[in-house]
Amino acid sequence: MPTTINKSGTWDYTTDHVDSVILDGTSSPITLQVKTGTTSWGEGDSSGSSFTAQAITVEGDVTLSGNGYLTDDGNLTNNGSLTITNPNFVVNGTASGQAITLADGGSLTVGTLTAPITFGDSPSDSSSYNTLVVKNYAASGTITINNLSPRDKIIFSNDQSSTLTWGSDGTTILDQNGVVLANVTFAPGYDKDDYNFDGNTVTVTCFLSGTMIRTSDKDVAVEDIQIGSEIAIFDWKHNQEVTRPVVWVGKARATVRPGLPADEAGYPVRVLKSAIADGVPYKDMLITPEHCLFFDGQFVPVRMLVNGKSIFYDTSITSYDYYHVETEEHSVITADGMLTESYLDTGNRSTFRQDGKVAALRAAGARSWEADAAAPLCVGRNFVEALFRTLEARGNLVENCQKPAASVTMTHDADLHLVMKNGAVIRPIRHD
């Protein structure tokens, strides 16, 4: 018999497997917080409890929250209004029915998807996304995606490499064979040019003007790099420096949307001088949030290292030019004394105009992180969180580090007033 849950509370089942579950929010909205704890998950231990059901049916208004792990071994049928803010929800079968909302860092990994997806509020954690992972997109038909913004991520995973592109209309996502995987509507103020494709992932990685790129004999401003320039490459596998020619330089201009949160508005990230180590970088570095820095044989997006002290969104910059520098192979290069990445064309080359004295003809077809990256892309918590904590602690010692805003004390005192140095009391003439 199905288990029916019709009131808010904590989802604290810990059995390995139970019957079907009906989440019934028809009488009144319910919110279920998946209990957290410690359990084996995937390849290692993670924070969160694990609950598995044979199938889940949603009726009425239901929200799944918390950080525990929730697995639907069968199908998810949404007959009502389902909002997911839980980052660890997996449906092994098919998710069907009414639109499912992902908000506040919510994540849905699904085998086959026929229900529409609506992206809601962005997560407060700047390193997080609202995330949709579709494993069997071939069987899902054309998926409907609503309200896509830069803090939302979509991954089409068919257990094989896939290269995605935008359709000519700018609102459809195509696979490498030209098959339409999804129809997309964007959040207000956004369009396809605000997104990159990283192989099979929809998520810009560039240097701002003034960034100094190490060449074969000196550091040169990125805006002065030309096609054919020889730049220094760190061959980390053999621990040696070599040179490679630049084969393409792209330039674009960004205008910040100041009405949005800093991590959504398009502000660049400023990495202060010596934020990483003494003299690294050797001056303040300005890059876009998705640009990767190189640590211990891995690339880490700088957005995941923003600590508000030594690495932060620079809200004083409201428009800027930014540049891509591409070598024949994706490479580890040095910018402002910091190891970082050259451009990897994952499908957004057309959004840039080519700079340089000579036009370069490039082979058609986008590349992917899995097949073409100079080093693995790392977003795993075990590595990134430790790195973040190290840089955050160092941030207090970095010159010109940002100071946290003073906390504000709230009061409900109806007799709130000012007392001047001379003892005079000033009281409000009205309360709004």
Name the DSSP letter for residue 274: T
Model pLDDT for residues 293-331, shown as the tens digit of each residue: 999 999 999 999 999 999 999 999 988 888 888 888 899
**174 and 244, same structural domain?**
no
Last residue of a domain, one of 154, 175, 202: 202
- What is the secondary structure of 334-363 as a DSSP string? EETTEEEE----SS-GGGSEEESSS-----
Same domain, 165 and 34: yes
Q: What pLDDT, on the 0 to 100 scale, is given for residue 64?
A: 93
Buried-state track 399-409, b at ≥16 Cβ within 10 A, e below 16: eebbeeeeeee
Say if 373 falls within a structural domain. yes
Residues 114, 174 within the same domain: yes
Segments of the chain scoring below 50 in pLDDT: 14-16, 37-49, 127, 159-161, 204, 348-365
pLDDT of residue 130: 85
Q: Output the CA angle 10-12-13, nearest 5 degrees.
A: 140
Q: Is residue 406 in some structural domain?
A: no
Separation of alpha carbons 164 and 376, rounded Å: 19
- SS3 (DSSP) at 384: helix
Question: 357 lies in a domain?
Answer: yes
Q: Which two tokens stand for residue 193?
A: 């040019």
How many of the other CB atoms lie within 10 Å of CB of 84? 25
Report if residue 317 sits inside a domain. yes
Count of structural domains within the chain? 2
* Predicted pLDDT of residue 370: 74
Which CATH number belongs to the domain containing residue 389 in this structure?
2.170.16.10
> What pLDDT score does 48 carry?
41
Residues 6+ apart with CB under 8 A from 397: none
Query: Both ends of the chain: CA-CA distance in Å?
Result: 55
For residue 131, the tally of other CB atoms under 10 A from its CB is 20
pLDDT at site 426: 87
For residue 145, the enclosing domain spans: 3-202
Q: Does a structural domain hold residue 423?
A: no
pLDDT in the model for residue 354:
41
> How many whole angstroms separate alpha carbon 133 and alpha carbon 88?
11
> Which pairs from 183-189 meet CB under 8 Å and 24+ separation?
183/142, 183/143, 183/144, 183/145, 184/145, 184/148, 185/145, 185/146, 185/147, 185/148, 186/147, 186/148, 186/149, 187/119, 187/147, 187/148, 187/149, 189/257, 189/260
Nearest-angstrom CA–CA distance, 190 and 11 = 37
146 and 290: one domain? no
pLDDT for residue 163: 64
DSSP-derived pairing of the beta strands 44-47 and 38-41: antiparallel
Do the domain assignments include residue 61? yes
**What is the sign of the dihedral through the CA atoms of 273, 281, 406 and 150?**
positive
Same domain (yes/no): 192, 255: no
Instruction: Provide the pLDDT for residue 153.
Output: 83
User: Do 189 and 280 fall into the same domain?
Assistant: no
Q: How far apart are CA 327 and CA 218, in angstroms?
A: 18
Calculate ∠ Cα 300-303-307, nearest 5°.
Answer: 110
In a domain, 146, yes or no: yes
* Phi, then psi, of 395 in degrees rounded to 5: -55, -30
d(CA 120, CA 83): 9
Tokens 């918390």: give the residue.
66
